[in-house]
Structure 1
Amino acid sequence: MFSGVDPVTGKDVYLTETVKGTDKAAQKAADKVMTRLLSQVDQQRSATSSVSFGYAIDEWLRTAELEESTRDMYRGYVDRNIRPVLGDEPVRKVSTRMLESLYAELRRCRARCNSKPFVEHRAEGEHECKKEKCRPHACKPLAASTVRQIHSIMSGALSAALRWEWITSNPARIAQRPKQPQPQPTPPSPSEAARLVDAAFEMDGKNNDDWGTLVWLVMTTGIRRGEVCALKWSRVDLEQGIIEVRSSYVLRKGVGRVKDTKTHQMRRIALDTETTVLLREHKERCRRRLTELSIELTDDMYVFSGVRKFDPTQPYSPHAVSSRYKDMAERLGIDTHLHALRHYSATELLTAGVDLRTVAGRLGHGGGGATTLRVYAAWVAASDRKAAEILGSRMPKRRLKGLTEGL
């Protein structure tokens, strides 16, 4: 039975169902199936709501509790990948098949070129392609993680449409999405970590270990980039050797603001003796600089500030921190980035036999360690092997008959 045209593939869609048998009972069952299919097609063609899928997504984005940076990212996906295909489709007609067709198309080519060659023009109107450097289209598939993100957006919008009684079911709930890719963290090796921290302490010159202290703190605590930028002296207890992570500093369209941590939870991280000493020295340096300016160091000042101008009333830019670290690593010939120090902290702890829950707590992972286990599964396995050997070494020694017979 003809059910319309698939907006993703442009192909006709037919609803089919097979009823076996030729007797009267089979004919009666076939009549029921036909009635049900007719009702399904009629419901799609004469939906009680004329709301488009694009409108449903816009309303969900407007009302959902999302970080502004997340909302902006979602709007980008909607404008590039969702609205051109399904934006004008009535929300009641969006089906599981449509969603899965879109996922398949995006995994093959983000431009959904339908395997037809064409030229990607870099200018509009009359122009010379050679001069404008126009080039033939080359298929570039979207990553599985990106398609999963697009699925989450559409699922959220359809769930809202279900709550608002615009649809009777959410087709995204049963739609198959790409499998979640296995995380592959690449922490620096211990020797690379040593070179990185040594270089960091040398960068700001003699008697200025600010940058080195920042890199050291990230390396030993696994604190996130935005969290170290938002850290204030009021959250540093040098007597107890503890820092409290309560907020994160982010930049959006060039404007910075302090927000909750990624998991919206506060956590306390214990500091080792060396790190505590470094922070004491760093605080004293900050105090001396401010004294020269006739300013008193207060607890509401930031622990780290920028390079060009020392101003602890303003946080270090997260982008500047990442850029400076990347430049330092490239000069050393090490292919790494700042977030890899977080991986380094986690993997070193797990390799040393620290339990999963403690590592998850220091990193600020939710789910009681489920995220930590998924990301660092290989290191957890290595830690488990070490635990087995430790336990085995403490067991009473026995003569193994199979190995001692005939000796």
Structure 2
Amino acid sequence: MKGHIRERSPGKWAVVLDLRDPETGKRRRKWHTFTGTKREAQKECARLITTLQGGDYVEPAKETLAQYFERWLEHIRSQVSPRSHERYTEIARKNLAPLLGSVVLTKLRPEQISAAYGKALLSGRRDGKGGLAPRTVHHMHRILRQALGQAVKWRILVRNPADAVDPPKVERLKMRALDAAESAALFAHFRPTRVFIPVVLGTMCGLRRGEVTALRWRSVDWKTGHIEIVESTEQTRKGTRSKETKSGRGRRVALPSFALEELRAHHIRQAEELLKLGVRAASDGYVYTQADGSPVQPNSLTHEFTRILAQATHLPRVRFHDLRHSHATQMLASGIHPKIAQERLGHSSIAITLDLYSHVLPGMQEDAAAKVDAALRAAIGKTAG
């Protein structure tokens, strides 16, 4: 197997590889364009010959990154949720393609990717009103890296150029957790509304928005005071669909007595409300519904929560998801073991719980140190006596 270089213009080289067609035995040539010094071109020629001999050679192609995105998006359609696929498609087509889509995939370089990120931060908004947030550019990098990683698996690329690029630093979103007094005030404000039960489930049980809208009465165990979280709802452009929980497995959550009492009262009110409409309540009905018993979309719950909260000047402005954070923070601050918090929240591992709520742990460590100290001092006192 041989190869040589030809100078096309100053700094521009053609790397020519001589090889045999495995089927016909006829001689073929593969041409690669290279920019650099003669010595660098010779090294590139030697590298390509080595990849040919090792079976890692990738033939040059003229497919652009924008064209490749379409193939890749179709490939991953069955591997991610519809909502995730919508997000991937939006970022690939509307954020990445305008910046890098015209580049031939096999010629994409790390410096081009880095420059594209810089441009996105400076002037990447589609409405022309400035740059994108670092978090958005970080999502762009994650999707581009994943797409190019597949190109390596398909042997279109030898290596992933996005691996050599560092995305912008993203500050972690600050969580706003309500204390017990604020939670009580929140309950009082929402009690006259239909969103009261979702607020209770979020604050006292740590349910996610999609888990609230997917909860059915058959999942409520009145005898033991538990609810089974077995599914969630996801809203896409095509409508709302049921899916498994975020961790991929169900969980059993014990209801505080207050939440159990409110659920019982809500169950009765809902049955009476439906009876007036000529509808009989069913065990597979949803806990949180519209007036006619039909399910509520996750986005509608968020919008209604935000609208009602805005009417209270004495309450902090929080997201519905912050109710979940409030539940976790109050549990850990009360000395509940993080493993129990993980199980109630439905995190896939305790490491996620500890990482998200590490700000609560210093106080817990001080409390633990004080308890150990008190126990040892008591034991020492008895020994001395």
Q: Could you say what secondary structure the match of 2:234 adopts?
A: strand
Aligned partners of 2:163, 2:87: CA distance in 1, in Å?
22
Pairwise CA distance, 1:381? 2.5
Task: Report what 2:270 is aligned to.
Answer: 286
Which amino acid in 2 is paired with 1:174?
A: A
Which amino acid in 1 is paired with 2:367?
A: K
Task: Report what 1:60 is aligned to.
Answer: 72
Task: Say whether 1:171 aligns with 2:161.
Answer: yes
| Greater mean deviation of Cα atoms: 170-179 or 153-162 | 170-179
| Greater mean deviation of Cα atoms: 266-275 or 210-219 | 210-219
- Distance of aligned partners of 1:310 and 1:111 in 2 relative to their CA distance in 1, 3 Å threshold: closer
Task: Say whether 1:321 aligns with 2:301.
Answer: yes
Task: Say whether 1:161 aligns with 2:154.
Answer: no
Which amino acid in 2 is paired with 1:102?
A: A
Q: Could you say what secondary structure the match of 2:377 adopts?
A: coil
Aligned partners of 1:80, 1:293: CA distance in 2, in Å?
46
Task: Say whether 1:359 aligns with 2:341.
Answer: yes
Task: Report what 1:73 is aligned to.
Answer: 87
> How do residues 6-405 of structure 1 correspond to structure 2 at under 5 angstroms?
15=36, 35-37=42-44, 48-64=60-76, 65-110=79-124, 140-201=130-191, 203-204=192-193, 210-253=194-237, 255-293=239-277, 295-306=279-290, 309-311=291-293, 314-333=294-313, 334-366=316-348, 368-397=349-378
| Greater mean deviation of Cα atoms: 285-294 or 191-200 | 285-294
Contact 1:77 1:150 in 2 (8 A): yes
Which amino acid in 2 is paired with 1:318?
A: P
Pairwise CA distance, 1:41? 10
Q: Could you say what secondary structure the match of 2:155 adopts?
A: coil
Aligned partners of 1:224, 1:2: CA distance in 2, in Å?
58
Aligned partners of 2:81, 2:295: CA distance in 1, in Å?
20
Aligned partners of 2:334, 2:268: CA distance in 1, in Å?
33
Pairwise CA distance, 1:185? 0.6
Task: Report what 1:123 is aligned to.
Answer: none
Pairwise CA distance, 1:237? 1.0
Unaligned runs of 5+ in 1: 5-12, 17-29, 113-119, 121-136, 205-209, 400-407
Pairwise CA distance, 1:14? 6.6
Aligned partners of 2:252, 2:12: CA distance in 1, in Å?
58
Any idea what the Cα deviations from partners look like across 1:141-173, whole Å, max 9, x if unmatched?
Answer: 322221111011111111111121111111223
After superposition, the CA RMSD in angstroms is 2.9
Aligned partners of 1:348, 1:89: CA distance in 2, in Å?
51
Aligned partners of 2:36, 2:373: CA distance in 1, in Å?
62
Number of corresponding residues: 340
Which amino acid in 2 is paired with 1:60?
A: W
TM-score (norm 1): 0.75
Which amino acid in 1 is paired with 2:43?
A: R
Aligned partners of 2:247, 2:138: CA distance in 1, in Å?
20
Pairwise CA distance, 1:231? 0.4
Pairwise CA distance, 1:365? 1.9
Identity %: 24
- Distance of aligned partners of 1:254 and 1:72 in 2 relative to their CA distance in 1, 3 Å threshold: closer
- Distance of aligned partners of 1:392 and 1:142 in 2 relative to their CA distance in 1, 3 Å threshold: farther
Aligned partners of 2:374, 2:155: CA distance in 1, in Å?
64
Any idea what the Cα deviations from partners look like across 1:27-54, whole Å, max 9, x if unmatched?
Answer: xxx95x55114667999xx952222212
Contact 1:351 1:383 in 2 (8 A): yes
Aligned partners of 1:275, 1:2: CA distance in 2, in Å?
74
Pairwise CA distance, 1:69? 1.8
Any idea what the Cα deviations from partners look like across 1:113-153, whole Å, max 9, x if unmatched?
Answer: xxxxxxx8xxxxxxxxxxxxxxxx76x33222211110111
Unaligned runs of 5+ in 2: 1-9, 14-33, 52-57
Aligned partners of 1:387, 1:277: CA distance in 2, in Å?
34
Q: Could you say what secondary structure the match of 1:265 adopts?
A: coil
